[in-house]
Copies of this chain bind each other. A is one copy, B any other.
Amino acid sequence: MWFQETLSIRTRGRGTYALSEQVAATVRRSGVRTGLCHLFVQHTSASLMLCENADPTVRRDLEVFMARTVPDGDPAFQHTSEGPDDMPAHVRTVLTHSSLSIPVQEGRCALGTWQGIYLWEHRQAPHRRHVSVTVNGE
């Protein structure tokens, strides 16, 4: 059994956007009880992340880490046509994840208690992002 749909997320610029509820709804619609749920972000300047879902300072600290490790306006970068956050957004995407698979058990994503699914927008400006969701199972 295969079920595919595309989530559309309007971001307000750099930051993390919770996807767990939308993904859970897709899995319910699929009717799959046992299988896998696959997410794929169709962009090279936004990514997917599984992250602690209780304390928002975790995601704030992740931004702090990335701002230090891959700072905007890095003079070593040549690909700057879309601004100082252009190339850092590509690096952050490569360091995190474009695709992610989660087991489906008893009709639900088998996430751990503290795991949340997030889209991570790496550009400073708002964007519309597409995440393709594929649910496969029986």
- Measured CB to CB, the residues of A under 8 A from B are 2, 4, 34-36, 38, 40-45, 49-52, 55, 57-58, 60-62, 64-65, 68-70, 76-79, 81, 87, 90-91, 93-103, 105, 110-112, 114-115, 130, 132, 134, 136-138
Q: Which of B35, B65, B70 contacts A70 (CB 8 A)?
A: B65
- The verdict on A40 contacting B90 (CB below 8 Å), with A79-B57, A99-B101 known, is no
Q: Could you tell me if B103 and A38 are in contact, using CB atoms closer than 8 angstroms?
A: yes
Q: Could you tell me if B100 and A98 are in contact, using CB atoms closer than 8 angstroms?
A: yes
Contacts of A70 in B (CB 8 A): 65
Contact residues of A: prevailing secondary structure: mixed
Q: Could you tell me if B110 and A61 are in contact, using CB atoms closer than 8 angstroms?
A: no
